[in-house]
A and B are shown apart, each in its own frame.
Chain A
């Protein structure tokens, strides 16, 4: 089975939105734990772990940038990402406790943080493609986690 063709677990998630399908498939296929998932529960856990890891890296990146640039909007973005990490982690914790609805909700609202970051940058007339890229990725991960955990409810 070719992953992402719709007949496998990744396909079940990524086919929900054709506009996101390619990006969704690519980011999931790149993670060996995701590829090794044997059911939707394992897949959801793997996706949330992936989201935590990538968002932590984004947080570290933003904190470093905030330290070197002294720009309030970027400092705020780092704070938003701290929230995003916490929400993904809490979602994972709830998933393990089988509180599926809360896990799903937390995965959804994690996407607010990159959205708020992007809005903050726009308001400050800051164009930073690297930050926008991590915002886009984090929003994508939130969506993917939201869809995946939603299938468990």
Chain B
């Protein structure tokens, strides 16, 4: 068949790298500065930067999934942006089970799900030069086998710079040692461990610091109290509590008397 394009043989060389660099040359119109992490807020630890390797896979199905797992691979999907207005197709891929297991073990499940990764799709895992594309993704969900916590499947969502993504951001509690309430023997009631935000893809926080250092007995922190980049939009009620310092129960007080 005739393809009306010059230098077609060169363009169709099987040895040509399939990652197009044209996208890197996309012009940026004058306008608001790109969003960046602000000083004083958590940012992803570079030591966990890792490219997840993937290969295209055949259509989904139980048999194919089982076959993939036996080969040490996880069936996976990369979904298009969540708005869905502009179409786009999901991508069917397989990733290495051991790589995903290692990442989840190192980061923790919640932190794995709130971090961006570069996904490099290759024709084959061992074909370093023949990769189809590299795309930035956010893990969307991961299913772990009960008992062993072995990963069964994982899904991602594409995360270009202009994307707005719903992310369950994990909370990290600090200051327990100086909390006046905790010093009095009260207990920490952790009500929420993650909070859902609509995040610009370029500034997804790896976690949110929750400062307990000034909390006294009976006091609580609500979602509206959390310190986050102003570009993040809270998707839950501002008045919903995330943590509370619980006073001692009357029965416990009586026991001490």
Residues of A within 8 A of B253 (CB): none
State how many angstroms separate the Cβ of A105 from the closest Cβ of chain B. Answer: 4
What are the residues of chain A within 8 A of B3 when measuring CB–CB? 49, 52, 89, 92
Indicate if the CB atoms of A105 and B121 lie closer than 8 Å. yes
Other-chain contact of B92, A73, A105, A143 (Cβ < 8 Å):
A105
- Docked pose: A38 CA to B55 CA in angstroms: 30
In chain B, positions 101-152 with a C-beta closer than 8 Å to chain A are 121, 123, 132-133, 135
Determine chain A's interface SS by DSSP, over half rule: helix
CB nearest neighbor in B for A146: B89
- Judged by DSSP, the binding face of B is loop
Indicate if the CB atoms of B86 and A135 lie closer than 8 Å. Answer: yes
Report if A83-B23 is in contact (Cβ < 8 Å); known contacts: A105-B92, A105-B132, A109-B133: yes
Q: How many residues of A contact B (CB 8 A)?
A: 52
**Tally of B interface residues using CB under 8 Å:** 41
A104 touches B56 (CB 8 A): yes
Residues of A within 8 A of B89 (CB): 107-109, 111, 142-143, 146
* B86 and A139 contact, CB distance less than 8 A: yes
Which residues of B lie under 8 Å from residue A75 when comparing CB positions? 27
Minimum distance in angstroms from B226 CB to a CB of chain A: 28
B93 CB–A CB distance under 8 Å: yes
Residue B250 interfacial (CB < 8 Å)? no
Give the CA-CA distance A128 to B25 in the complex, in Å.
23
Chain A to chain B contacts (Cβ below 8 Å), 24 pairs: A45-B1, A56-B4, A56-B5, A87-B20, A89-B11, A93-B12, A99-B123, A100-B58, A101-B57, A101-B58, A102-B123, A102-B132, A105-B93, A109-B135, A111-B88, A112-B80, A116-B160, A136-B87, A139-B87, A140-B87, A142-B87, A142-B89, A150-B59, A151-B59
- Measured CB to CB, the residues of B under 8 A from A are 1, 3-5, 11-12, 14, 16, 18, 20, 22-23, 25-29, 55-59, 80-81, 85-93, 121, 123, 132-133, 135, 158, 160, 162
